[in-house]
Structure 1
Amino acid sequence: MTESPPSPAALRAAADRLVSALAAHSDPEYRLTVLKRLARRLGEEHYPMFLRLLGVVAESDDDRAKRLLAGTFGTALRRMDLPGGALSSWGATRLPDNVTPFSASTLSGQFFGATPRRLLGPVEYLTVWHLQRTQRTPLGAAAFRDALAHMIDLLNHSEDARTLYPQKLAADAQNELEGAFTRATRERLAAVAASWKAGRAPAEVAQAALDAVPEQTSGWVVRDL
C-alpha cells in the first residue's frame, strides 16, 4: 500500500522544525550533523521528501532560514560531505517505483552486481532523476527545472555554497570512470556549473541544464517532485 504524501501544512511544519533545529546551534558542524541525520532518518527511498523540505524553505520569504540552510550546505561542501540520496545507476532500469516490499539488502550493491550506486547531492540527484533511468519514475522537465531553480536560489544564500557547489559539479562532469553519470548527465552538470559560476539567475541556470541536451522522446511516464 502506497503511503499518501504529506499535506502542504505538514511539510511547512516539518521545514519549520528543521530550521528551528539548525538555529538552536551556533556550531556549523553540529548543524550539518542535524541535516545529515534528517536525511538518514528519512532513508534513501524518501530522499525526495528531504528535497521537498528544502524546497519549502527555498520558496519561503524567510531569508534567515535560507541563510541557515545554505550555510549548512556550505559547511558540507567544504567537508565534501553533502547530505545525499542514492539512485540506481542508469544500468538498472527495471526496478519498481515503490520498493516497499523489498528488503534493504535486495536493493544493495550486490543486487546490481557491478552497477554502481553512490550518494548524490541535491543538484546531482535532481539531474540524474530527471535524465537517467533509475528505480524511480523519471522526473518531468518542468518539475526538474522548477526544483533546480529553487535549489540554486536557496544555495545562493551562502557564499561558500554558491562558490563551491559549481566547482564540485564541474569536477563531476569530467569524471567518466565511476559510471554513475551518463554522458548526457555530465553535459547537463557541466552546463549548470558554467551558468552558476557565471552568476546567472537561478531560473536561467535551470534552463541551461535543459538546453544542454535536446529532449529525447520516449515512452517513459514522468512525475512531478
Structure 2
Amino acid sequence: MAQPIPDLTLRDQPDWAGAAEVLIEGCAHLPSREDRVRWMERLCHSLGDALYPAFLQVLCRIGEHGNPQAQAAVADTLVLALQSGRLPSGRHAAWGAQWDASVRATRTMGPIEYLCAWFAQPDGRGTLGAVAFDQAARALVGLVSHSEAARRLYCAKLHSVADDPLDGAWTRSSRHALQAMALSWSQADPEPYRAATQAVEAFMAASRHGEQSAPAATVGALAQGWIPPASWR
C-alpha cells in the first residue's frame, strides 16, 4: 500500500530537492503500477491548481539533476499515467481569456502543454520569459524522453492537441508551434537531451514566426519580461 504523502506547502525557499526525492522514491520503489501513478497524482493534487507550477518545478529538478535511474523511474510512471489518462495536469486560461478579463474559461493541460501555453499565451500570472521557458521545457522534454514509450505517447498527445481547432485552448499560431514541437520530437536524436533541444527549439522558432503576424497587443504581451510567481521561486 502506498505511504501517505505529507501535506506540501511552499516556504520562502522551497526544498525542491527534497520534493523531487519524494516523487522519485514512490516512482522507483512502490510495488504496483497503480501505486506509482497514484503517488504522482497525489503529489500534484496536494499542491492544487494554483501551485501546479511547483509540481512542474519538481519534474524539472529531476530532469536536470536526477541520475539516469531516477529519471527513468519517473519517465516510466509518466508512461503509465499517459496510458491511463491520468497525467497530472494544471488549469490554464483558454486563449481568449488572457486578453479579456471578463472571460474565465480555463483548460486542463499536461506538464509540457502547460509550459508551452504559459510561454505563448500568458494569463494573469504574467509571461514566462524565453530563457525560463527554454530551461524548463528542455528539462521536462528531456525527462520524458528517458522512456521511448513516453516520448511516443506524448508526441501523439501533442499532435492531437494541435489538430483540434475546436478545443478553444490554443490560438492557431500556438497550435502550429505545438505541431512543430511534436514533429521534431518524434524525429529527434534518441539521446534525451539532444531530443529535448531539438523539440524546444522547433517550438520556439514556430512561436517567433507566429508572433511576426500577430496583432500588436498580442506581440506586446508576449514581449513582456517574466514575472515569476511565488510558486516558481
**CA contact under 8 A between 1:92 and 1:135: conserved in structure 2?**
no
Report the identity percentage.
Answer: 32
Paired amino acid for 1:144: F
Q: Which residue of 1 aligns with 2:226?
A: 222
1:130-179 Cα shifts (integer Å, max 9, x gaps): 01131221101111111111111101111221111001101110101120
Within 5 Å, which residues of 2 pair with 1:13-24?
13-24=18-29
Moved more, 185-194 or 211-220: 211-220
Name the CA distance, whole Å, in 2 between partners of 1:195 and 1:68.
24
| Number of matched pairs | 205
Q: Deviations over 1:163-216 (max 9, x none)?
A: 110011011101011201111211111011001100242112111110012264
Asked if 2 retains the 8 angstrom alpha-carbon contact of 1:73 and 1:155, the reply is: yes
Q: Which residue among 6, 11, 32 is the counterpart of 2:13?
A: 6
Could you state the TM-score of these two structures normalised by the residue count of structure 1?
Answer: 0.84
| 1:112 Cα deviation after fit | 4.2
- State the match for 2:5 in structure 1: none
Kindly report which structure 2 residues correspond to 1:1-225, keeping only aligned pairs within 5 A, or say none. 5-7=12-14, 10-93=15-98, 112=103, 115=105, 117-200=106-189, 201=194, 202-214=196-208, 216=211, 217-218=219-220, 220-223=224-227
C-alpha separation in 2, matches of 1:208 and 1:5: 35
Unaligned runs of 5+ in 2: 1-9, 212-218
* DSSP 3-state at the match of 2:220: coil
1:26 Cα deviation from its structure 2 partner: 2.6
CA contact (8 A) 1:94 1:135 kept: no
Aligned partner of 2:203: which letter? A
Cα distance, 1:26–1:95 mapped onto 2, change above 3 Å: farther
Q: Which letter does structure 2 place at the counterpart of 1:188?
A: A
Which residue identity does 1:214 align to in structure 2? R
Determine the C-alpha separation between the residues in 2 that align with 1:161 and 1:182. 26
Q: Deviations over 1:22-80 (max 9, x none)?
A: 22313122111111111111010101100000011111141111011101110111122
The root-mean-square deviation of aligned C-alpha atoms, in Å, is 2.1
Which structure 1 residue ranges, 5 or more long, are not aligned?
Answer: 97-110
**TM-score scaled to structure 2, two decimals?**
0.81
Give secondary structure in 1 for the equivalent of 2:182: helix
Provide the C-alpha distance between the structure 2 equivalents of 1:139 and 1:82, rounded to a whole number of angstroms. 22
- The answer (yes or no) to whether the contact 1:146–1:206 under 8 Å persists in 2 is no
